Structure 1
Amino acid sequence: MTAHPHGQDPRTSGTGRLADDFFLMAHEESSGKLLLAERIAGLGLAAALLGELALAECIELREGAVAVLDSSARDDDLSGRVLEFLKQEQHPTRTWLAFFGQSARTEVGRRLADDRLLVRETRKRPWQESRWLPVSTAVAVRPTALLCTQLIRGHGLERRDLVLLGLLRATGLDQPVLWEVRQSSPDALRRAGALLGSLDASLTELLIQTEAAVGSAIATHRF
């Protein structure tokens, strides 16, 4: 079994980071093919990066804006860079989602590669897009397997799990990712959906803004 990069038990913690889990869920486990339109995936990953900071109580989302609560140094460079942008300028949440969404896929991919969970595939033909590939299938499917198991068995979901579920729903990624739960235990999804209402106002705002940004991108065909 691949060692967990943050010293946690990989059987119970996924990657340990919200955006990293979303990234792995958004890509086909063996080919690295993206399961969402690129712009939608970018918005979801941008929201997950903000979610990491919100879960750590470094930022608060309210009334369509982002407020920095704690500007101290972060454990990883990517979170630190995101926080630095938020400290320097003030913009609506939707603007931040669009801004970070432009590079979030590349940035999160690099973070996973730095943790030795992904490798960058070099394509033979120059017009072919290079892809991030997991070092093993076990690494790729871990976040999905853990969330599905928790849902099917009725285990309690932590705040991070609920935010991840909310982001899957906001981007439409729940359709391909949670098909096993939908097939074997549809009531579990309804119960988990109801639990989203227990999230605090900041995290609820994040999900609302993400869903709105995705809806706008779909309505304007900006994929």
Structure 2
Amino acid sequence: MLIADEFFLIAHNDIRGKAKLHPAATGLGLAGGLLGELVLYGHVTVSDGLVTIVDRRPPVDALAHTVLDQLIGEPRHQSARTWLSFLAQTATAAVGERLARAGVLRRQEGRRLLRTTVSYVPIDPNTAAWPATRMRVLLERSEPPPTLSDALLLGLIAAAGLSREVLWTAAPGAHHRLAGLVAALPPPLKELVVHTEAAVGAAVLRGAP
């Protein structure tokens, strides 16, 4: 499962699909995940606050392909914070749809206050709950070592304010291990986490919807 997909499942209730975070924090965490996927695929890098394309070949994943096309189509805009804010506007729906296509979630429409609302409900609650459990187990054990994508996911979880969802029953020392894994990330991924955390903090402070 891809980084943004696992972040989505951790950030939403595993039965009703209700968000556990401020909507802006959810969107920015997912945006960080989508950019992180492109960094891990070798398509972009993040340095000095800028997102730079290093490989224009289309990724296999359709959503990653769409995000890369957006980056290529707007060469004047390279600011990581700008791209996080832009992608955050549609990230929840985009990743929710990707999980629905994968058969993990079911798209559900409803009516509330004279408008249509969309939520994504798990088809199997155990599958939806697994990413949070997996992250908690990873932090509690020294072996096997986490993959780079797992370390990035943990960084984005911390940046968005989701740590409690992973660590609430974790053994002593898990918080320290989380901090160590994030600190050891390669510079482009570490910088992406830092920008995501700053964007989340700014959005929550200004009361962004």
Instruction: Provide Cα deviations, 1:183-204, integer angstroms capped at 9, x if missing partner.
Output: xx13022023112222111001
Task: State yes or no: 1:112 paired with 2:125.
Answer: no
Matched, 1:132 2:120: yes
Q: Is the deviation greater in 103-112 or in 85-94?
A: 85-94
CA contact (8 A) 2:135 2:166 kept: no
* CA–CA separation in structure 1 for the residues paired with 2:115 and 2:172: 42
**Structure 2: gaps of 5 or more residues:** none
Correspondence list, 1:136-215, <5 A: 136-155=124-143, 156-181=145-170, 185-215=171-201
| TM-score of the two chains, using structure 1 as the length reference | 0.87
- The answer to whether the 8 A contact 2:32-2:192 is kept is yes
Q: Report the secondary structure of 1:112's partner residue.
A: helix
Aligned CA RMSD, in angstroms, stands at 1.4
Count of residue pairs the alignment pairs up: 205
Query: Are 1:150 and 1:157, in contact at CA under 8 Å, matched by a contact in 2?
Result: yes
Alignment match, 1:32: 17
SS state at 1:129 partner:
strand
**Equivalent residues of 1:154, 1:188 under 8 A apart:** no
Q: Distance in 2 between matches of 1:173 and 1:129?
A: 24
- C-alpha distance in 1 between matches for 2:5 and 2:177: 25
Letter in 1 for 2:186: D
Tell me what 1:103 maps to.
90
CA-CA distance at 1:127 after TM superposition: 4.1
Alignment check: 8 A CA contact 2:132 2:165 kept: no
- Rounded to whole Å, the distance in 2 between the matches of 1:215 and 1:124 is 31
Confirm or deny that 1:74 pairs with 2:59: yes
**What is the distance in 2 between the residues matched to 1:107 and 1:84?**
15
State the shift of 1:40 in Å: 0.9
User: How far off its partner does 1:215 sit?
Assistant: 1.2
Equivalence map 1:9-24=2 (5 Å): 15=1, 17-24=2-9
State the secondary structure of the residue aligned to 1:67: strand
Label 1:196 to 1:124 Cα distance change in 2 as closer, same or farther (>3 A). Answer: closer
Give 3-state SS (helix, strand or coil) of 2:207's partner: coil
| TM-score, normalised by the number of residues in structure 2 | 0.93
Gaps of 5+ in 1: 1-14
Q: Which is richer in strand?
A: 2
- Paired residues of 1:170 and 1:211 also in contact (CA < 8 A): yes
